[in-house]
Chain A
Amino acid sequence: EDQVTQSPEALRLQEGESSSLNCSYTVSGLRGLFWYRQDPGKGPEFLFTLYSAGEEKEKERLKATLTKKESFLHITAPKPEDSATYLCAVQATGGYQKVTFGIGTKLQVIP
């Protein structure tokens, strides 16, 4: 069974204090790993897709990296508007299209 574990569950940063969120995964064969941002009371917003170990993607202050066992979401010089819950999800290869989500990391950036 596919599993996604995210850590920490919650993270509080000062504005400008860079940090990383971790996503460890177990999947039979990885088709794709996804990062989403979710604001309270809203649906998740797509950020990145990573397909293979060594791949990196960036968007503004966010950078996602992937290894064979985990992914990191690096946040550089965060701002208060980066406060949200960040979700990691994996999709396995094979015929079934199910995507498995982690519980998320709730990030709070304090001015």
Chain B
Amino acid sequence: GAVVSQHPSWVICKSGTSVKIECRSLDFQATTMFWYRQFPKQSLMLMATSNEGSKATYEQGVEKDKFLINHASLTLSTLTVTSAHPEDSSFYICSARGHKGTPPNTGELFFGEGSRLTVL
């Protein structure tokens, strides 16, 4: 159980275009999803926290208008990188935590497989 699916696994796009990444919890309801970014040899950096049905909470330094996050249902959150530039190239990973009172509910995060974005 506690499977999180992320799509696409990798994407290459031209500078100036927008890219959407989907994150789905397959076997549990995720009221909260988190989006991370990871550079080589660095730790996971939290970009934003999204709660189903409300606006995402962005970490300091993360541009809200560039990284649009939508959490429309208990099983789906999306990250859209708008007007992507080469410096946005990175590994983006989503994670989910279960709804209080339902499995998994012990605090740990379950991660998707990650999406490698390359902006040319």
Contacts and interface: CB of A to CB of B under 8 A. Distances in A.
A67 B69 CA distance: 37
Contacts of B44: 44, 87, 89, 101
A78 interface: no
A48 B57 CA distance: 27
Nearest to B104: A46
Contact of B43 (A43, A49, A87, A91): A87
Interface stretch (B11-19, B76-84, B105-113): B105-113
A100 to B, nearest CB: 8
Given A43-B6, A97-B32, A97-B97, A102 B43 contact: yes
B108 A43 contact: no
B43 A103 contact: yes
A30 to B, nearest CB: 11
B111 A41 contact: no
SS of A interface (majority): strand
The bracket for how many chain A residues form the interface is 20 to 34
A44 B111 contact: yes
Given A43-B113, A45-B111, A98-B49, A103 B42 contact: yes
Contact of B109 (A4, A42, A99, A103): A99
Interface in A40-68: 41-46, 49
B114 A43 contact: yes
Query: Which of B2, B4, B6, B106 has the most chain A CB atoms closer than 10 A to its own CB?
Result: B106
